[in-house]
């Protein structure tokens, strides 16, 4: 089974300083048929105006992954952590027992464009923590680079759930394949560009859920295509 979630079908929120697209139910957008996919709970594509952002707010018992496409995202939190996330970086925040933080566009001149991804952890009450790593384009070009996993192998960030998160940068005609073990699910998110995935055409902002499929076979249709692949329980 392959279920396509088109970019234009996503929920929307626009507050002037923030333009957001919600793949799954989030905030004021609610669709009982779009409550996540396995432990993958949120994929929000956000654009924040220069100098603007989300004021201090709280989270609990969620693994929150930030993936910046353009610009720079600045974070500050209640445990004394502060960082700036730029393209190529992957940051995971384990909210665990509770954390309060803010997220702002680091620039006063340029917008920031990023994905915020929420994964339900495999247990509650994890100690709050951050981990951030940079994955150079060369490591993702023409191949699936593991950037998040439960055990941190291959230098990936640790996500407290039985998931694998891969990123790839592809030019026209380049193909990547990811096999799905029996009982595993897959999610493809097209970040930029356009692809053919298992004979389905997808474009930027589109997502695809796979169940009972042996593999994802993704071929880029334009240069500069960027994808994320989730291997899920």
Q: To the nearest 10°, the Cα dihedral for 70, 158, 59, 122?
A: 140
Instruction: Give 15-24 pLDDT, tens digit per residue.
Output: 888 899 999 9
pLDDT of residue 77: 65
pLDDT of residue 134: 97
pLDDT of residue 100: 60
pLDDT of residue 52: 73
73-82, 113-122, 141-150: segment of lowest average pLDDT:
73-82
* Mean pLDDT value across the chain: 92
**Nearest alpha carbon to residue 195 among 183, 178, 211, 212:** 178
For the cut 60, the answer to whether the pLDDT of residue 229 exceeds it is yes
With a threshold of 0.75, does the pTM exceed it? yes
Average pLDDT over residues 45-64: 78
Residue 209 and residue 230: Cα distance in Å, rounded?
10
Residue 183 and residue 185: Cα distance in Å, rounded?
7
Residue 150 and residue 231: Cα distance in Å, rounded?
11
pLDDT of residue 83: 81
Domains of the chain: 9-134 (2.60.120.10), 137-232 (2.60.120.10)
Tokens 């940079």, located at residue: 134
For the cut 60, the answer to whether the pLDDT of residue 145 exceeds it is yes
Q: Which residues make beta-bridge pairs with 92?
A: 65, 131
């Amino acid at each position: 089974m392959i279920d396509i979630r088109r970019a234009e079908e996503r929920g929307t929120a626009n507050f002037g300083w923030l333009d957001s697209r919600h793949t799954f139910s989030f905030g004021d957008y609610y669709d009982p048929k779009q409550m996540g996919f396995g432990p993958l709970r949120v994929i929000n594509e956000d654009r924040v105006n220069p100098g603007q952002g989300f004021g201090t707010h709280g989270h609990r018992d969620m693994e929150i992954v930030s993936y910046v496409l353009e610009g720079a995202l600045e974070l500050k939190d209640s445990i004394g952590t502060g960082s700036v996330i730029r393209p190529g970086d992957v940051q995971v925040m384990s909210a665990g027992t509770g954390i309060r933080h803010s997220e702002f566009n680091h620039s006063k001149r340029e917008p920031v464009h990023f994905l915020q991804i929420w994964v339900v952890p495999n247990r509650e009450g994890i100690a709050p923590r951050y981990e951030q790593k940079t994955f150079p384009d060369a490591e993702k070009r023409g191949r699936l680079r593991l950037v998040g996993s439960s055990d941190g192998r291959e230098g990936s960030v640790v996500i407290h759930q039985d998931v694998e998160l891969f990123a790839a940068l592809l030019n026209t005609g380049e193909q990547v394949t990811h096999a799905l073990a029996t009982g595993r699910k897959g999610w493809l998110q097209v970040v930029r560009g356009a692809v053919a995935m298992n004979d389905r055409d997808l474009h930027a902002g589109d997502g695809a859920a796979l169940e009972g499929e042996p593999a994802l076979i993704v071929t880029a249709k334009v240069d500069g295509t960027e994808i994320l692949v989730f291997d899920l329980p």
